[in-house]
A and B are shown apart, each in its own frame.
Chain A
Amino acid sequence: MDYPILSSLILLPSIGALFIFFTKSDLNEARSSKYIALFVSFLNLFLSLYLWYLFDQSISIFQFVENREWLGFINYKVGIDGISILFVILTTFITPLCIVSVNNTIKNKLKEFLIAILLMETLMIGVFCSLDLVIFYLFFEGGLIPMFLIIGIWGGERRVYSAFKFFLYTLLGSVLMLIAIISIYWINGTTDVTELYKLGIDSKYQNLLWLAFFSSFAVKTPMWPVHTWLPDAHVEAPTAGSVLLAAILLKMAGYGFIRFSLGLFPIASDFFVPLIYSLSLIAIIYTSLVALMQEDMKKLIAYSSVAHMGFVTLGIFTFTKQGIEGSIFQMLSHGLISAALFLCVGVIYDRMHTRLINDYGGLVSVMPKYAVLLMIFTLGAIGLPGTSGFVGEFLILIGAFKKSFIVASIASLGIILAAAYMLWLYKRVIFGSIKRDDLKKILDLNKSEIFILSSLTIPILFFGFYPEPIINTIEVSVADLIDYCNSKMLEQKK
């Protein structure tokens, strides 16, 4: 493949951002900058779908690899395999929806907001494509800058506090990863991921390096007890920011666990399984209980994200085909569902300027379309069969049952709790009687909102009934990864 399709995927949004940077910022021009952003992001979506079409599902090696001289001893290397391609598509799918949604939410500095969103897209695609640890770190950390600004400039009342908390938490987690990356360079002489897969890292270093990577991914996932930045960041960020955060940023860590923790340090990963299991179970149960008590809708969904990501980490470290496939599936479906839920909250927040559950009630009689769509997303979040949420959680639990009955049973409790807090939320917001007079005048979804939410509904339902395309894409790569881990562990035992 001669045409650098991955680099163009990464660069296109930045080029769009550059164009927007040079447009004038008065009101009419802001519209033109929006058209540029839409054009670029949709172009990227089609490009990534075309990439999926070109992608060869039967081999597990990295495809579309580009390798360029960059820093002398470190090369700019990108490529995708079955694990990463779907995350790229998720990114390119969510970003245009965010850009459509800014119509209703962002009132000032629209131009700058679009630039930030497009830069985020570049960085997020870069994270999923990079095949070199330093390049990965560059994209991974670079995302802090636009996200800090998105939360800080366009956020709610406590935006400063939340932005700082988000930034410093993530930075502190990541610097240890930087040390680990540099150490790997001096241990193995390269930071190229494919080379490192071949060479393997000496098992005496693995535990420490694993912990350093873990510190970064655990903050980003987020795992209990370092999840506290997430509710704050979610609540204060504007809708599009929350969507990006929940749908994609959190997935970067899950992806990192699969690609780096499992791939580079299989022995250490095996060693730390009890730690991961206990943290994941605490996350599932504890944050579900916390979610039950929330009065703020966004906070409730944020805590539910922590719980769902607990399932993901649990699934990854089962080392079973079902578990890892389920985790990837769960990440993709959670990306869609949480994005949809945050957008739903954004819809009523734009109208009523409150996120408190108690301020609502009886919306079904004034906003019927909204009620239907929110129902679908709520059921998806619970993991009802027929939605994509079910497939992921089901596979993870199969994987977990293979490993440990107790862990799996405790995790299953999480699903019940999820049903409790989501259905209760739905009941309080949608059903009942209308308490406030101004709620009677609330408008139902407008065209752009229907477009956004229904385009999220389609994949949620489609992949719930027919998960085949996703499973087919990831199957070979995951199987290969598990074989690789098992062979390394066998070597160690000998």
Chain B
Amino acid sequence: MINLNFVFPEIFISLSLMFLLMLGVFKKNSSVIIYNLSIISLIITLALILNRPIDKDIYLFMDAYKIDYLSNFMKILTVLSAILVMFASKKYIQSLNIFNIEYPVLLLSSIVGMMVMISSNDLIVFYMGLELQSLSLYVLASYNRDNLLSSESGVKYFVLSALSSGLLLYGCSLIYGFTGSTNFDFIMNNLNNNNYILSSGIVFVLVGLAFKISAVPFHMWAPDVYQGSPTSVTSFFAILPKIAALAVFIRFLYVPFIYVVDQWQTIIVFLSIASMLFGAIAAIGQKNLKRLVAYSSIGHMGYALAGLAVNSNEGIKSSVLYITIYVFMNLGFFCCLFMLKKNDKYYENIDDLSGISKNHPFLSFCFLIILFSLAGIPPLAGFFAKFYIFMAVIESSMYYLAIIGLISTVIAAFYYLRIIKIIYFDPEKIKYDKEHNIGLQFCLIISAIFILFYFTYPSWLNEIVSKISII
């Protein structure tokens, strides 16, 4: 008898998304209600996950679905950030005239996909979750269909992502062919170390996953998609899929292939170094803030991967901490972007920020701490994120990785400083609207407080994360 209690959050959110879709079809002009109801259903989902403390790992559906501390933590992070993103972006969607019933429903379905991904303990379940997530995101990317850039980004994302999904699936089939199972635990126990075709299977899957978190050299889609999509979708892109993909990364590398570390470690190290350096250097020349976020998130994923490359529990924990802090920083950044509004027009170029410190002291102060935090300057939260990563990296004596990471921090600091310079040192250009809805302000304040005061009591997050044990 399968105990469905443990997948109740997933079941609840799937049912509520179907119900909301039905409601939307049969009730006219119900987009506001559906948007609010989907936020409420996400809050209930969050409560359901939080409601069930995990003492031991639970396997469901013939071991294809695993619920443990890591998956719970990542799900909480996913749902929480989804709630905050939806709060923050409501006004934006309304003013862009894309406030339809499908929008929240698609968001919910991609969240279901992510939750499946996070918990998957089997290649097929993992692929299913990934595709559910991606298909919803393809539609969302081109949601503002009257906009040329938006449609382009949707098509681009779809084509490239389909290619990477194909590679990933091919990798899965190779792994299945040479181990005889799709189950992670089974693969772990029946692994032949000297099988080169199996390693190419691992490589194919890693390529697919690297594509999803936009690690260099599989990052080409990110800047265009980030820029073209509506900002609300970009904020979603920049935060949620990364959490899910990182969880899968951890699961995929450290459960089935834990005994063949030498086969994949170099790949991860390369991905990490390339992403850190490329993200830092390529962002310098950007003019569009959303494009800049794309490059900066490429860089940040490089740091998260550095934590994964070290092959230790410390490394995994540091990556999870990194992604947690990253979520709050990016959320804050996008909240600031949503505030750059004047007469229902949203501004997204770096030059549009010129001198906003004069008329918008609070907004520019938030920008300031978020940017310094993204640059990793102590005592803000971003510093701790990097600190944990480097602790783990140096523990396993990978000094070159640490040194390259820190040098790219300095390079990256330059473009963050450039934005601060434009905000604080340049003459003012545009006066933006000062009134914003409460949800947006709430999200910005939450993330600003998190970033600013993280250092006063950093061990609480540490303690939560320290219960994760994969190896």
Residues in A lying within 8 Å of B, measured CB to CB: 25, 69-72, 134, 137-139, 141-142, 144-145, 148-149, 152-153, 159-160, 163-164, 167-168, 171-172, 175-176, 178-179, 182-183, 185-186
Contact = CB atoms under 8 A, between A and B. Distances in A.
A72 B466 CA distance: 10
B455 interface: yes
B425 A159 contact: yes
Nearest to A134: B387
Per CB-CB distance, the 8 closest pairs between chain A and chain B, nearest first, are A175-B406, A138-B378, A182-B394, A141-B378, A72-B459, A172-B410, A152-B425, A142-B379
Contacts of A141: 377-378, 383
Given A142-B379, A159-B425, A183 B394 contact: yes
A186 B403 CA distance: 16
Contacts of A164: 414, 417, 421
B458 interface: yes
Contact of B421 (A72, A163, A183): A163
A71 B459 contact: yes
Contacts of B414: 164, 168
B92 interface: no
A178 B413 contact: no
Interface of B: 361, 372, 377-379, 383, 387, 390-391, 394-395, 399, 402-403, 406-407, 409-410, 413-414, 417, 420-421, 424-425, 455, 458-459, 462-463, 466
A70 B459 contact: yes
Contacts of B425: 152-153, 159-160, 163
A70 B458 CA distance: 7
A25 B455 CA distance: 28
Contacts of A138: 378-379, 383, 455
Contacts of B394: 179, 182-183, 186
B459 A179 contact: no
B421 A160 contact: yes
A145 B414 CA distance: 13
Given A159-B425, A160-B421, A171-B413, 15 more contacts: A70-B458, A70-B459, A71-B458, A72-B463, A138-B379, A138-B383, A141-B383, A148-B417, A148-B420, A163-B421, A171-B377, A175-B409, A178-B406, A179-B402, A183-B394
B340 to A, nearest CB: 21
A33 to B, nearest CB: 14
A106 to B, nearest CB: 15
A74 B34 CA distance: 47
A175 B414 CA distance: 14
Interface of chain A, main secondary structure = helix
Interface of chain B, main secondary structure = helix
A175 B410 contact: yes
Contact of B410 (A163, A171, A179): A171
A179 B399 contact: yes
Given A138-B378, A182-B391, A167 B459 contact: no
A69 to B, nearest CB: 7
A284 B133 CA distance: 64
Nearest to A141: B378
A186 B395 contact: yes
Nearest to B414: A168
A139 B399 CA distance: 24
A126 to B, nearest CB: 9
A456 to B, nearest CB: 31
Contacts of B413: 167-168, 171
B458 A168 contact: no
A149 B459 CA distance: 30
A293 B122 CA distance: 74
A164 B387 CA distance: 23
28 contacts: A70-B459, A134-B387, A138-B379, A138-B455, A141-B378, A141-B383, A142-B377, A142-B378, A142-B379, A145-B377, A148-B417, A152-B421, A163-B421, A163-B425, A164-B421, A167-B413, A168-B413, A168-B417, A171-B377, A171-B410, A171-B413, A175-B406, A175-B407, A175-B409, A175-B410, A176-B403, A179-B394, A179-B406
A177 to B, nearest CB: 10
Nearest to B392: A182
Nearest to A187: B394
Given A152-B425, A175-B407, A167 B417 contact: yes
Q: Tell me which of A69, A164, A175 has the highest count of chain B C-beta atoms within 10 A of its own C-beta.
A: A175
B88 to A, nearest CB: 24
A129 B189 CA distance: 54
Contacts of B417: 148, 163-164, 167-168
A179 B390 contact: yes
Contact of B424 (A149, A172, A182, A186): A149
Nearest to A21: B365
Nearest to A177: B406
A172 B407 CA distance: 7
A168 B420 CA distance: 14
A25 B365 CA distance: 15
A382 B362 CA distance: 47
Contacts of A163: 417, 421, 425
A375 B230 CA distance: 65
A159 B379 CA distance: 24
A145 B390 contact: no
Contacts of B391: 182, 185
Contacts of B377: 141-142, 144-145, 171
B100 to A, nearest CB: 42
Nearest to B426: A160
A153 B422 CA distance: 11
Contacts of A160: 421, 425
Contacts of B379: 138-139, 142
Contacts of A70: 458-459
B124 to A, nearest CB: 39
A69 B413 CA distance: 31
Given A148-B417, A160-B421, A137 B406 contact: no
Nearest to B458: A71
Nearest to A169: B410
A141 to B, nearest CB: 5
A178 B394 CA distance: 11
A69 B406 contact: no
A183 B406 CA distance: 14
Contact of A71 (B399, B402, B420, B462): B462
A69 B387 CA distance: 18
A223 B142 CA distance: 55
Contacts of B466: 72
A178 B390 contact: yes
A175 B407 CA distance: 8
A145 B462 contact: no
Given A142-B379, A182-B394, A153 B410 contact: no
Contacts of A25: 361
A292 to B, nearest CB: 33
A149 B421 CA distance: 9
A93 B378 CA distance: 25
A152 B462 CA distance: 36
A149 B420 CA distance: 9
Contacts of A185: 391
Contact of A72 (B390, B403, B407, B462): B462
Nearest to B425: A152
Contacts of B459: 69-72
A15 to B, nearest CB: 13
B372 A145 contact: yes
Contacts of A186: 394-395
Q: Tell me which of B403, B425, B455, B458 has the highest count of chain A C-beta atoms within 10 A of its own C-beta.
A: B425
A152 B390 CA distance: 30
A149 B462 CA distance: 31
Nearest to B456: A70
A186 B459 CA distance: 19
A70 B395 CA distance: 20
B378 A137 contact: yes
Nearest to A112: B361
A125 to B, nearest CB: 14
B317 to A, nearest CB: 11
